[in-house]
A and B are shown apart, each in its own frame.
Chain A
């Protein structure tokens, strides 16, 4: 196991209090960053090679560089804590156990962007993380970590904690912005991009919790220390939330480039109940699935997973053992995405449910020949044809499960339901 940056202190007693945080070496990064010029801060983040940890993996420093600072309008920073991708629960650990790490990271980012007001948008279902973060923010205000002249510097910053109402789509940055403005959580068409016209029409930068929580390390230890971790293009560490048919589910921090198989065998303790591995979904439910025979040479970093035809995504590592019914997996995920479609664009609104309905029919043994081709042709007309990437997220599991496990689908269509699944899901909302 590699160096820990984010999870280093999560087991410390009192880490979620200001004193506990400072005792574990907190605020050092912020103090150093506040002495630098904001441009220098952005430059160092670029040098560190830090990439967005929410899923897209876009270089964070470059993203900050898109935010104009001379428009005469305020610049807003938003911390995206709407962690809703199935299989992803990494940000929760930071919010519950080490919330000051996130707050410190946000202040550094806000300083770099010239923002005097930031928002944390917490997923609606996250009540405990919400409470812990709220307590932390209150304490940060009382200890001079937030508010006027932070830590005696000239930089002042306010922070607002907002709890969502429980919609997956509010994790998409423009959907999040609409929701934060009090509107329906529906993504906006781009252009204009949030960097230019985001929250309340002002330049806005949206970063993931994990991305922001890395910043204190980059400035306390130096960007070189961070860039020294990981592979050539995937620098640093990544939180992986492992779930499914494994012996030790949980949140792990790995150095990028860590072999997937080793992660599964060592950290996760291997597949449970002595069963064989069937498949791995390595980056949250909306990335393509890997069959057991495909994981041998794959490492957990952006490039290696891309070459294997999938993505690191948000690091939601879902393991399926040999008993998993892949038709049911496809139906289950299709149900989730159909339920979460915001209803704006035609292909996703209508097509998402159609995919779900066909998979439901197949899983109940009422499939007809041609169903797989039908779903495939629908999916190719949903992907890339919508306002936000939700359309792509919805078709990826459907298409990849059918592609990787075609015989299971064919068998169910031809021979009817042999599913032993005790939960005979009825289609419904």
Chain B
């Protein structure tokens, strides 16, 4: 593939690897060739006809998605002929479209709206009665179909055929009666089913549990990373009123392409407990933060154990490892890690764990190469009563509560007020959705996870609590005032947060 081909697109010269198609080649020049059915990780269908371009010497327009670059090719993406074809394609697509943008969840991030505005923007000449098709058809537990909005790009069908290989979907009928349908006796219930909604360029497929819950322009959309497992799928999360309104996959060819598992997508709420720890507690009674921290800072002895939640930040693991160096006796540390059985479809994307950032813990020597065994050992020792001082950093530091009784000297950095573990000191921490920082995925790709939701006042990020405890013990660890300061303090100066976000992370 090292062979390159020289061509010009709209008069601009470029060279790209042999085998590149014109949509991808044009992207390198910053030229968008509009398309609906084309997706870089699905087979070429060539049916939407939106990506037609003029290639010099060809008798008629050609579709950019199915045209590979050739030496000396001259491509025009904005000739009159091309513009007319784009405009006509949109007119054709819209004649039977219900134009119900006022109640459509896709409105505001819809390729039909965007392209029509950009490439047609003319009133329709269609005077006839529109075709009617089934609406609000549940395809499975997660996805709802509106047949009239569908433009028959078949991305959803190809996803189920080619990626999950579960083939739940197909196309029924012919001509403008065509409609997407689930195959007889089936249900769209594979573990990645929600991805078809992301792939749908229009509002035909919507999430059943997020339908009609907000206009997208009233939400804040944040690029982040899913904290569900160590794959670290890139996501775009729409948030409104401290609630996650919608989660979309964000394209990253190195991590998740544009797929996302249902467990991750629909599971963001599990990182936001309903009742929060909002004040420090000493033996169940409200105390001041200073008092609690002073008391906690004295709770280190030669039989200390630190149980770490796997969704702490890279920076926090870094700080904790520095902190441990200041202690007279090195405590036992482990990260909560449970192996997980995966189905064949889940294996496409999901990692066999629920520990999104355990690689960071390993990176700083806080977890062994076999975190699962280490965690089981830690819990066993705890049950034996081998530890006289126990620290649980993050709600998910310990998940099993059966048969565990914490020693008097125990501290928990919690967000969930209903956590069944009752340490002597409880400090009000923050959820991963309320912090920003770095995550290291299973392939050692460092990615930026952004803050989605504003934190409640009186809570502190785990790293600041640790820093304050260290300060009480006479050795401040960092001067960082915010998550961002702390992130910059651990990053190599050549890497900015912006580059991390733009490049979809870097491998370390």
Report yes or no: A340 in contact with B174, Cβ–Cβ below 8 A.
yes
Report yes or no: A385 in contact with B52, Cβ–Cβ below 8 A.
yes
Most buried by B among A347, A361, A386, A429: A347
Measured in the bound complex, the distance between the Cα atoms of B85 and A357 in whole Å is 21
Nearest-Cβ distance from residue B241 to partner chain A, whole angstroms: 39
Report yes or no: B49 in contact with A345, Cβ–Cβ below 8 A.
yes
Report yes or no: A167 in contact with B174, Cβ–Cβ below 8 A.
yes
Report yes or no: A358 in contact with B175, Cβ–Cβ below 8 A.
no
Report yes or no: A349 in contact with B128, Cβ–Cβ below 8 A.
no
Interface 1/0 per residue, A334-366 and B, CB below 8 Å:
000011111111110111111001100100000
Report yes or no: A350 in contact with B95, Cβ–Cβ below 8 A.
yes
Report yes or no: B48 in contact with A346, Cβ–Cβ below 8 A.
yes
Nearest-Cβ distance from residue A125 to partner chain B, whole angstroms: 16
Q: Which of B49, B66, B89, B173 is in CB contact (< 8 Å) with A343?
A: B173
Question: 27 A-B contacts, Cβ less than 8 Å apart?
Answer: A167-B174, A184-B170, A189-B66, A191-B66, A339-B174, A342-B174, A343-B173, A343-B174, A345-B46, A345-B47, A346-B47, A346-B49, A346-B92, A346-B152, A349-B152, A349-B176, A350-B92, A350-B96, A351-B92, A353-B176, A354-B95, A357-B129, A378-B88, A381-B84, A384-B61, A385-B52, A385-B88
Q: Which of A189, A345, A346, A361 is in CB contact (< 8 Å) with B128?
A: A361
Interface 1/0 per residue, A166-205 and B, CB below 8 Å:
0101000000000000001000010100000000000000
Contact residues in B for A378 (Cβ distance below 8 Å): 88
Most buried by A among B52, B61, B175, B177: B175
Measured in the bound complex, the distance between the Cα atoms of B126 and A361 in whole Å is 12
Interface 1/0 per residue, B117-129 and A, CB below 8 Å:
0000000011111
Chain A minimum-CB-distance residue to B96: A350
Contact A387/B126 with A349-B175, A350-B95, A350-B96 known, Cβ cut-off 8 Å: no
Measured in the bound complex, the distance between the Cα atoms of B175 and A358 in whole Å is 16
> Is the C-beta of B131 less than 8 angstroms from some C-beta in chain A?
yes
Measured in the bound complex, the distance between the Cα atoms of B92 and A345 in whole Å is 10
Report yes or no: A354 in contact with B151, Cβ–Cβ below 8 A.
no
Most buried by A among B46, B96, B151, B176: B176
Nearest-Cβ distance from residue B53 to partner chain A, whole angstroms: 12
Report yes or no: B49 in contact with A386, Cβ–Cβ below 8 A.
yes
Chain A minimum-CB-distance residue to B59: A384
Interface residues of A: mostly helix, strand, loop or mixed?
Answer: helix
Nearest-Cβ distance from residue A172 to partner chain B, whole angstroms: 13
Contact residues in B for A342 (Cβ distance below 8 Å): 174-175
Measured in the bound complex, the distance between the Cα atoms of B84 and A342 in whole Å is 24
Measured in the bound complex, the distance between the Cα atoms of B131 and A248 in whole Å is 42
> Is the C-beta of B60 less than 8 angstroms from some C-beta in chain A?
yes
> Is the C-beta of A368 less than 8 angstroms from some C-beta in chain B?
yes
Chain B minimum-CB-distance residue to A343: B178
> Is the C-beta of A225 less than 8 angstroms from some C-beta in chain B?
no
Interface size class of B (residues with CB under 8 A): 35 or more
> Is the C-beta of A131 less than 8 angstroms from some C-beta in chain B?
no
Measured in the bound complex, the distance between the Cα atoms of B173 and A167 in whole Å is 11
Measured in the bound complex, the distance between the Cα atoms of B209 and A382 in whole Å is 39
Q: Which of B125, B127, B129, B151 is in CB contact (< 8 Å) with A346?
A: B151
Contact residues in B for A354 (Cβ distance below 8 Å): 92, 95, 126, 128
Chain A minimum-CB-distance residue to B179: A343
Report yes or no: B175 in contact with A353, Cβ–Cβ below 8 A.
yes
Contact residues in B for A189 (Cβ distance below 8 Å): 44-46, 63, 66
> Is the C-beta of A308 less than 8 angstroms from some C-beta in chain B?
no
Chain A minimum-CB-distance residue to B68: A191
Nearest-Cβ distance from residue B71 to partner chain A, whole angstroms: 17
Nearest-Cβ distance from residue A68 to partner chain B, whole angstroms: 20
Contact residues in A for B176 (Cβ distance below 8 Å): 338, 341, 343, 349-350, 352-353
Measured in the bound complex, the distance between the Cα atoms of B178 and A262 in whole Å is 45
Report yes or no: B60 in contact with A384, Cβ–Cβ below 8 A.
yes
Nearest-Cβ distance from residue A194 to partner chain B, whole angstroms: 16
Contact residues in A for B178 (Cβ distance below 8 Å): 343, 349
> Is the C-beta of A28 less than 8 angstroms from some C-beta in chain B?
no
Report yes or no: A358 in contact with B128, Cβ–Cβ below 8 A.
yes
> Is the C-beta of A266 less than 8 angstroms from some C-beta in chain B?
no
Chain B minimum-CB-distance residue to A169: B174
> Is the C-beta of B488 less than 8 angstroms from some C-beta in chain A?
no
Nearest-Cβ distance from residue A385 to partner chain B, whole angstroms: 6
Report yes or no: A344 in contact with B152, Cβ–Cβ below 8 A.
yes
> Is the C-beta of A374 less than 8 angstroms from some C-beta in chain B?
yes
> Is the C-beta of B171 less than 8 angstroms from some C-beta in chain A?
yes
Interface 1/0 per residue, B84-126 and A, CB below 8 Å:
1100110011011000000000000000000000000000011
Interface 1/0 per residue, B150-188 and A, CB below 8 Å:
011000000000000000001101111110000000000
